[in-house]
Amino acid sequence: MYFLNEEERKHLLKRLLPKSRELEVAEELRGWNWHTAPLEPPYDCRLALYEVAGSYCPTNRDLFLRRVARVRVKPNAAMVRGSALHAALVHVLVTAKRLIYQYGVERHIDICRQLQALEPPPLSAAVRELAPEEQADVAQKTALLTEFEKARIVARIQEVLVKHPYIGEDSLANLALPLVLEQKLDGSFLGLSQNLSADALIAFEPMIMDLKFGEPRDFHYLTTTGYALVMEAVYEYPVNLGCLVYVEFRDRRIIVRRDLHIIGDELRQWFIETRDEKARLVEEEIDPGVAEDCHPTCPYFRVCH
């Protein structure tokens, strides 16, 4: 899912990378200036990044109910499905890395064979609580995703081995799978949770990647922007690139669209303003009221109606 195709690589290398390196982000909007305005958190509360970046509720009443009213609800089917698909992808990628280190380059055939035989991870307890038809749908999609990703990883391993005859296992893992999955980050400098987890990070040219299994929404850019700011705050180097990976299942096929983008001043300012607005809602216990156009699949729909 995270591996760019040839056209995307050209777009990244010939357009976005040069532009991002010339990018003059306002110094006060770099994450390493977390101790000064406007990045300095105006309130003491700590928000999860998804609480800042997720704007599915038009009035943000879901945040009020969760953080102020302390209402606990079960995740909806889409959330459970997304979590299961994320887990399946991580399962394949982490297993591939583990096999490379376990067997080494000399036993590359064993690596590929075991990877090709890999089964999807067991369905979680949350998936097993879904209706039977929804369980079957999740099982089918996790199996399809697992097969899709296995084939791509095997091809990448073989491509690296063909090109580099004297490679070792650590370099093989790094070139074939140049990703850090579920990168743990402390967002407390920016008024966020200490326990953030970015879907994937490409370290060669720092780029935040976030996986989505729903329709594209403008506020999805806040996720990559938030993680970029946190990376800058923690490690003090610029992170100018993001990539939203949208995955669609259509007629037992997987369709992937990657939205590569530069994380400039406008996105950074949008994230800061959204963070401050939502932190104020929690800190001052403001009930924003029920939205006029609530989505019926919202986990809090029954609470509001």
Domain boundaries, the chain: 6-288
The pLDDT tens digits for 236-261 are: 999 999 999 999 999 989 999 999 99
Residue 296 has a pLDDT of 84
The pLDDT tens digits for 95-116 are: 999 999 999 999 999 999 999 9
Residue 167 has a pLDDT of 97
* pLDDT level of residue 70 (50, 70, 90 thresholds): very high
The pLDDT tens digits for 159-217 are: 999 999 999 999 999 999 999 999 999 999 999 999 999 999 987 778 999 999 999 99
CA–CA distance, 179 with 202 (Å, rounded to integer)? 5
CA–CA distance, 18 with 27 (Å, rounded to integer)? 19
CA–CA distance, 138 with 230 (Å, rounded to integer)? 32
Cβ count near 298 (within 10 Å): 18
